[in-house]
Amino acid sequence: MRCPYCGNDDTQVKDSRPTEDSGAIRRRRVCNACGGRFTTFERVQLRDLTVVKKTGRKVPFDREKLARSVNTALRKRSVDPERVERMISGIVRQLESLGDVEITSDQIGEYVMEGLKGLDDVAFVRFASVYKNFSAADDFRSFLTELAEDQRELPGEDD
């Protein structure tokens, strides 16, 4: 692991422990060259995933890009960062457990929509507006109408 202070590759692990979500390992490291101390979070990756874009282009899956998209939708919303991290980790685990190394950007979008729907309504609509390529106010109106109808149909709501 490269030292963030001097760029040296010769670092030593001083402490290692799982994070609360058990999806990562927190490591305290020290640089053997400059003595700088820093923390890394390392994740177990089950397989290398490839994202197939709508154009057919293939790119490596990037967890950080997924996190940026989710956090953009959640900007200025008061949602606990741990819940967001658990949602992102859950999406990644779902994608890895599909059994396929190639996943479509549509599959990822659907998982994100599903996760945001349970996390924050505003972020859900924000993400949907980009994901579904809304181009007019009527797109928002019809989406929100559909959403309201879906929520009315949920069992147990009026019992």
Query: Model confidence over 16-33: pLDDT tens digits?
Result: 888 776 667 889 999 999
pLDDT for 5 beyond 80: yes
Give the three-state DSSP class for 11.
strand
Distance of CA 99 to the CA centre of its chain: 19
Q: What are phi and psi of 138, to 5 degrees?
A: -60, -30
Helix (H, G, I), strand (E, B) or coil at 17: strand
Residue 44, pLDDT > 70, answer no
Higher pLDDT, 20 or 131: 131
Residue 27 DSSP class: E
106 closest CA partner among 145, 146, 51, 155: 51
Q: What is the mean pLDDT of residues 72-76?
A: 95
Who has greater pLDDT, 99 or 36?
Answer: 36
Q: Above 80 in pLDDT, residue 121?
A: yes
Q: How far apart are CA 47 and CA 97, in angstroms?
A: 9
- Decide which of 98 and 84 is more confident: 84
| Apex 71 CA angle, 70 and 73, nearest 5 | 70
Structure tokens at 5: 């202070």
HSE-up of residue 17 (Cα within 13 Å, Cβ side)? 5
**Which of 50-59, 120-129, 130-139, 145-154 has the weakest average pLDDT?**
145-154
User: Mean pLDDT of all residues in the chain?
Assistant: 87
